[in-house]
Chain A
Amino acid sequence: MSKKFLFHRMLQTIPVVLGITLVVFSLMHLTPGDPVETMLGSVGHISQEDIELIRQELGLDQPLWKQYLGFLGGIVRGDWGVSLRYGVPVKDLIRERLPATLELTLAAMAVSLLIAIPAGVVAAIRRYSIVDQVSTLVSLIGVSLPDFWLGLVLILIFSVGLGWLPGGLRLGFEVTAPPTVTGLLLVDSLLARNWEALWAAMKHLLLPSLALGAPLAALTMRITRSSMLDVVKQDYITFARAKGLKEAVVIIKHALRNALIPTITVIALNMGTLLGGNMIIERIFSWPGLGQLVVDSIRTYDYPVVQASVMLYALTYVAMNLAADLVYTRLDPRVKL
């Protein structure tokens, strides 16, 4: 990977990041009426003076370009404003909620990859078999499923019906939480050797991560299958077989390694789906993460929180994409920009 490529790729993200700030900034100014009055609409009677005060506080009395520059400056300085609803800095709110979302997202990713990659490989090796046809249909259903509905059905079956798994929250009330170190309950309970909490946390994670990971799993499976089919046709696979290598070695070491390259890109490109999905899945499973915070803030017109978290999501996506491109070039030396 050349330094030049790296530089060029980074340069490309600058207008995108600026564009993101512009979209986020304009969200607040798209409001048909007065943003302050909309925000305070639910509060009741407020004097005109107070409205003016809040307007000054938010800098809404200044010209638009000045507001935008102030907004940019705030982001750079790490000053993301104060939540109108909770009265605490937005940064603290997000920091408090982020670990829960991170844990859920990672778990969903892990679950979907563990299901999807082996399934995709098997479907490709046994092409046109029953396994292949069933998994193709399952993956089509996977991308057609409303994830929130899948969450409800999982709760209905495994929680309400069978009573095997909890249908919400991260730990439940019977278990004492481990001391917070990373905020990720699995890691924290491991560190504290609190096996009871570890088990409880895993059980609580299973259903939401399944619901969140299903669309990604469906997509990953299809990509893994089609890129495996491409790779298996290549000469070096024929050569590896001709050398007398075991089929399992050929498939896993020679074919899968190369087939994973497009898979990684697709996963990174679909991080947005995962991040967007947890907004709705967290709500269903009463998961105290960022997604719930966003929905609540949107409903209560808590603009500073909405702006900061929407921006965080978008920047995460940009970073993931950049990372995927870099991994891509590392894995496939032919790629050069």
Chain B
Amino acid sequence: MELEQVLYQESPMWSALRDFWRLYRKNRLAVWGLAVIAIMVIAAIFAPYLTPYHPEKPDFTALRKPPFWMPGGSLAHPLGTDHLGRDMLTRIIHGGRISLTVGLVVIFFATSVGTILGLISGYYGGRIDAVIQRIVDTLLSFPYLILATALVAVLGPGLQNMLVALAYKEWIYPCRVVRSEVLAAKNKEYVEAAKAAGAGDLHIMFREILPNVFGSVIVVATLRVAWVILMEASLSFLGLGVEPPAPAWGTIISEGRRFINTQWWISTFPGIAVLLTALGINLIGEGLRDALDPRMR
């Protein structure tokens, strides 16, 4: 009796979440990925309160200090300082703000646009599908980084233009996935039933099909965040991203290149930050795939 009451009180969303977590938890690495990213996100949000230093202000009393375990290093600057005496840890934490923001914003826009176009393309088929798919094929032909670089060069550097340059091609990935899922779902009974009940196209696309392909959308979107963060780092490395002295990870790596013979830590640590972030997100993506895709169970 008691057990039944508990079950009844649970809202459907809560129990769905619990089911999801039970499946997700099976993938150990995915749980680790989630932990890493959670720490990164929290660090990014509270960046100004975590260290006593400013990420951009030079400190000429503490130039090129090595990390704490090397002779000459101290715990005052655990990861050392750069050629302008700025604390590496502070800069890396603030860099996370840039990378995560770019990743999330680009993926949010690309996924929204790509999902809608994918729904239209798959649902209506015919000429509109052909047009959208040829646009997708065309954009697919351009190497990602080269197209983004050329666009930034044309639009000018800076955060906003970088977002545009990345989203320009990014939407095609969710679009392709959604389209193929829609093609598979189109002839299922539930769609037929909705049609027979007199539902309009919009209702069928957004109310019937979309909830059923949502799992795949989430998986693709997650995995693509990692890629966008790598591309943001590459653009910043080439000097085409957020402009210095803003501490984007790619920018710090690029600055440190000049000192690679002597102050190796300047280029090394931000690279590890990029790696850990991308790896964490990829692991989460794999875990989501296991948990959300019924075919993988």
Interface of A toward B, CB cutoff 8 Å: 12, 15-16, 19-20, 22-23, 27-28, 30-32, 137, 140-141, 143-146, 148-149, 152-153, 155-156, 160, 272-273, 275-277, 279-280, 283-284, 294-295, 298-299, 301, 306, 310, 313-315, 317-318, 321
- Quick one: given A140-B282, A152-B260, A306-B150, are A313 and B143 in contact (CB under 8 Å)? yes
Q: Is the interface of B mostly helix, strand, loop or mixed?
A: helix
Interface of B toward A, CB cutoff 8 Å: 29, 134-135, 137-147, 149-151, 153-156, 226, 230, 233-234, 237-240, 250, 253, 257, 260-261, 264, 267-268, 271, 274-275, 278-279, 281-283, 286
Least Cβ distance of A193 to chain B in Å?
A: 36
Give Cα A149–Cα B237 distance, bound, in whole angstroms: 9
A148 / chain B contacts, CB cutoff of 8 Å: 233-234, 237, 250, 253
Least Cβ distance of B39 to chain A in Å?
A: 16
Residue of A whose beta carbon sits closest to that of B280: A144
Name the contact of A298 in the complex, choosing from B140, B149, B234, B278 (C-beta under 8 A).
B149
Residue of B whose beta carbon sits closest to that of A28: B154
Name the contact of A310 in the complex, choosing from B139, B142, B250 (C-beta under 8 A).
B142
Residue of A whose beta carbon sits closest to that of B237: A148
Q: Is the CB of A272 within 8 A of B275?
A: no
Give Cα A140–Cα B286 distance, bound, in whole angstroms: 10
List 10 A-B pairs, minimum CB-CB distance, nearest first.
A276-B143, A19-B138, A149-B271, A144-B278, A276-B145, A144-B279, A298-B153, A314-B141, A272-B143, A15-B134
- Quick one: given A27-B150, A149-B253, A310-B150, are A279 and B271 in contact (CB under 8 Å)? no
Q: Is the CB of B238 within 8 A of A283?
A: yes
Name the contact of A280 in the complex, choosing from B29, B141, B238, B281 (C-beta under 8 A).
B238
Name the contact of B151 in the complex, choosing from A27, A160, A295 (C-beta under 8 A).
A27
Q: Is the CB of A272 within 8 A of B260?
A: no
Give Cα A310–Cα B148 distance, bound, in whole angstroms: 11
Name the contact of B238 in the complex, choosing from A137, A145, A160, A295 (C-beta under 8 A).
A295
Q: Is the CB of A152 within 8 A of B155?
A: no
- Quick one: given A23-B138, A27-B154, are A152 and B267 in contact (CB under 8 Å)? yes
Least Cβ distance of A161 to chain B in Å?
A: 9
Q: Is the CB of B149 within 8 A of A294?
A: yes
Give Cα A301–Cα B261 distance, bound, in whole angstroms: 32
Q: Is the CB of B275 within 8 A of A16?
A: no
Q: Is the CB of B264 within 8 A of A156?
A: yes
Least Cβ distance of B183 to chain A in Å?
A: 16
- Quick one: given A146-B274, A149-B271, are A306 and B153 in contact (CB under 8 Å)? yes
- Quick one: given A275-B146, A276-B146, are A16 and B268 in contact (CB under 8 Å)? no
Q: What are 22 residue pairs bridging A and B, where the CB atoms are less than 8 Å apart in the complex?
A: A12-B137, A19-B134, A19-B137, A23-B138, A140-B29, A140-B282, A144-B279, A146-B275, A149-B267, A153-B271, A156-B267, A272-B141, A275-B146, A277-B145, A279-B145, A280-B234, A298-B149, A299-B239, A313-B142, A317-B140, A317-B143, A321-B141
A16 / chain B contacts, CB cutoff of 8 Å: 134, 137-138, 141
A20 / chain B contacts, CB cutoff of 8 Å: 138, 141-142
